[in-house]
Amino acid sequence: MDPQLADAVCVALGASVSAAAPVHGGDVAVAFRVELADGRWVFVKTHRNPPPGFFSTEAAGLTWLGEAGAVDVPTVLACSDDSPALLALSWIERATAVASTEEDLGRRLATLHRVGAPCFGREDRRTTGSRALPNEPTQTWAEFYAINRLLPLARLADGVLGTSTIDRLVALADRLESFGGPPEPPARLHGDLWAGNRIVGAGGRSWLIDPAAHGGHREFDLAMMRLFGGFGEACFVAYDEVFPLADGWAERVTLHQISPLVVHAIKFGGGYVAAATGAIERYT
C-alpha cells in the first residue's frame, strides 16, 4: 500500500496500518484487505484518477441501501474523493453458502425493492459507472430508461455497434411504453447486481457490494442477476413469493438487459457486441 494512502487511512480511522494485502477482482479501483494496529480488519479501495464524486457516490449508495433494513451491506467507515481518494468499509469474511442462502437473498431483495425510492433515477443526480450514465429524476420508468440509459448509450456506442443497431436503439427509446408492462412505482435498486457483487458471509448470509444504486424498475435488478448467472432458482422463487412480478415479466428480461449488454460491448467488445445487437433487435 502506498504510504500516502496508509497515512490517509490512519487519519480517517484513527489507527495505523499494520498490514495490507491486495484484493483482486475489480476492474477500476485498487483494493486492499487492511489490518489496523487496533486489531480491526477493513476493506480499503483507492483510485489514482477517479471521476468526480467517485467514492462518495458509492458510499451514499451503500448507506441508502442499508437504510432500508432489508439487505446486508458493508458499513462505510471512511470516504474521500480527494487525493488520495479512498473508501474504507467493514471487512466481510467470505464463507460457504447454506441451504437457505438463495431463498434468504430473494426475500430480502424483494423487501428492499418494496421499500421504494422517491423517483426513478437519483435526487442528487449523481451518475452511474465508469461511463457516467445520468440518473436524472423522472416520474416513469419509460422516461428514465430512455433518457438516462438507452439514448446516452446509443451515443457512446457509436463505432462499436452498427449504425442500424444504434438507429434501432434510438427508436426503441421512443417505444418503451409498448414493452414495459404495467406501471410500477420506483424500486430501491442495487443497480449492478451480478454475482461478483454478492459476498456470502458467515451463516450463509448474502452481502451486497459495489452498488450503482438508484430508483428504477425492480425487474432490472432481477434481469441483471439472470444475465451472468450465479444466483440459484430458489432466489427468484422466494422473491416472487414476497413480491410477485407483473404478468409478462419473462418477456421483459432481455429488455432490461440491453443497458448492461451495451455497456459491456462498449467496454469489452467481443461477444458482447453480438449479444447487445440481438437484444436490441428483439424489440425493434
Of the residues 192, 210, 221, 240, only one is catalytic, namely: 192
Cis amide leading into 52 (omega within 30): no
**CB burial of residue 110 (10 Å; 0-12, 13-18, 19+):** buried
Calpha distance 107→233 (Å, rounded): 13
Q: How far is CA 140 from CA 81, 117, 176, 181, 280, in A?
A: 32, 12, 11, 12, 21
Q: What are phi and psi of 68, to 5 degrees?
A: -70, -20
Residue 192 annotated as catalytic: yes
Residue 227 backbone dihedrals phi, psi, to 5 degrees? -65, -45
Residue 231, all three cell numbers: 444466483
Task: Determine the Cα–Cα distance for residues 74 and 162; give it in Å rounded to an integer.
Answer: 41
Q: Which residues have a Cβ under 8 Å from the Cβ of 144 and sit 6 or more positions away?
A: 120, 121, 138, 216, 217
Cβ atoms 128, 191 nearer than 8 A: yes
Pair type for strands 206-208 and 198-200? antiparallel
Pairing of strands 85-90, 206-208: unpaired
Enter the C-alpha cell of residue 117.
425510492
Active site residues: 192
